[in-house]
């Protein structure tokens, strides 16, 4: 018997189901008993898996839908989010079944980069850590967090400065720049301020980056009636929500797609941020994207 059978599925790691599939393919050319002997597969086991293979797959439609959802979201959804979307489309499967089928289909959620460090010592006033790792907010516009991250592609750099609402992770505003300048952060603030009234008592948390110690930044917060909060020096866990957002963004965009140029990446970044806010569902929000959840919360207030 040729040695090629090992490469056709009779290797040591081949499962009984895989061996059965190969044997069924080859049995028209070779004796069944010989194939079973080479595969070291009992006759009863072969017929058991053959029967399973020949049985109609009752999950065929669900598997097609799972694959469609997975590719619609560019591999960003794991089994829990896909389960939620399936439920909304009339496929009432539990998450363990979906997880198993994704494994069978070879669909793996693509998942996590150099952190931009803006700390340059004490160049201005350091604010107290008002947030103190309490990332829960009972309503929108109660607690915001911000940070800056850096992308390096094609020998160039691009910086993103977002504000996230801790109520549900909603992206309140953002600014993009090819340099980490103060105007990037103040532009982000100006956009965010357009969404809220003055003197709300809102807390805006950041690290101790030089931008956040700058007088202009702090003056803008003071005029708007916003309380400034800062992480302790060198403690990224104090701003974990912003860190997690950057990790998510990079795993779902930077590491998942290929880009032709920095201009192309910038456009895809803008597209992703729109997707994140308006279409990317979150399990913690009962299957809603942040923008819709925020709208419902504001309407109920």
**At residue 31, does pLDDT exceed 70?**
yes
Rounded to whole angstroms, the Cα distance separating 290 from 274 reads: 11
**Mean predicted lDDT score pLDDT of the chain:** 87
Rounded to whole angstroms, the Cα distance separating 298 from 277 reads: 16
Q: Is 97 helix (H, G, I), strand (E, B) or coil?
A: helix
**At residue 9, does pLDDT exceed 70?**
no
Rounded to whole angstroms, the Cα distance separating 236 from 278 reads: 27
**At residue 54, does pLDDT exceed 80?**
no
Angstrom distances, CA of residue 129 to CA of 34, 161, 229, 240: 73, 20, 5, 13
Residues 58-72 pLDDT 10s: 788 888 899 899 888
Reported for 73-82, long-range contacts at CB under 8 A and 24+ positions apart, including other chains, are 73/280, 74/252, 74/256, 74/257, 75/107, 75/108, 75/109, 75/110, 75/256, 76/109, 76/110, 76/252, 76/256, 76/280, 77/109, 78/109, 79/109, 80/283, 81/281, 81/283, 81/287
Residues 219-250 pLDDT 10s: 999 999 999 999 998 788 899 999 999 988 88
Distance from the Cα of residue 233 to its chain's centroid:
27
Q: How confident is the model at residue 111 (pLDDT cuts 50, 70, 90)?
A: very low
3-state DSSP percent of the chain in helix, strand and coil, to 5: 50, 10, 40
The answer to whether the beta carbons of residues 41 and 16 sit under 8 Å apart is: yes
Residues 211-223 pLDDT 10s: 999 999 999 999 9
143-300 has which CATH code? Answer: 3.30.420.10
Reported for 2-8, long-range contacts at CB under 8 A and 24+ positions apart, including other chains, are 5/38, 5/39
């Amino acid at each position: 018997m040729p040695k090629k059978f090992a490469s056709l599925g009779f290797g040591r790691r081949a499962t009984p189901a895989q061996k059965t599939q190969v044997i069924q393919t080859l049995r028209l050319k070779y004796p069944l008993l010989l194939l079973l002997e080479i595969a070291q597969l009992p006759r009863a086991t072969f017929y058991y898996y053959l029967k399973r293979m020949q049985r109609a797959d009752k999950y065929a439609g669900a598997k097609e839908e799972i694959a469609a959802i997975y590719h619609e979201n560019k591999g960003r959804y794991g089994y829990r989010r896909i389960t939620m979307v399936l439920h909304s489309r009339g496929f009432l499967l539990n998450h363990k079944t979906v997880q198993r089928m994704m494994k069978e289909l070879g669909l793996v959620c693509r998942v996590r980069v150099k952190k931009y460090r803006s700390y340059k010592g004490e160049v201005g006033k350091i604010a107290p850590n008002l947030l103190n790792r309490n990332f829960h907010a009972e309503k929108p516009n109660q607690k915001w967090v911000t940070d800056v991250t850096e992308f390096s592609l094609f020998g160039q750099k691009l910086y993103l400065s977002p504000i996230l609402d801790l109520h549900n992770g909603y992206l309140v505003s953002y600014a993009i720049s090819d340099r980490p300048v103060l105007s990037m952060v103040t532009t982000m603030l100006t956009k965010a301020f357009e969404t809220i009234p003055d003197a709300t008592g809102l807390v805006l948390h950041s690290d101790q980056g030089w931008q956040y110690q700058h007088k202009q930044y702090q003056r803008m917060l003071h005029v708007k009636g916003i309380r400034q909060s800062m992480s302790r020096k060198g403690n990224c866990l104090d701003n974990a929500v912003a860190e997690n957002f950057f990790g998510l963004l990079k795993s779902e965009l930077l590491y998942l797609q290929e880009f032709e140029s920095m201009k192309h990446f910038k456009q895809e970044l803008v597209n992703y941020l729109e997707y994140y806010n308006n279409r990317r569902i979150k399990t913690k929000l009962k299957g809603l994207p942040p923008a819709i959840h925020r709208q419902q919360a504001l309407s109920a207030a």
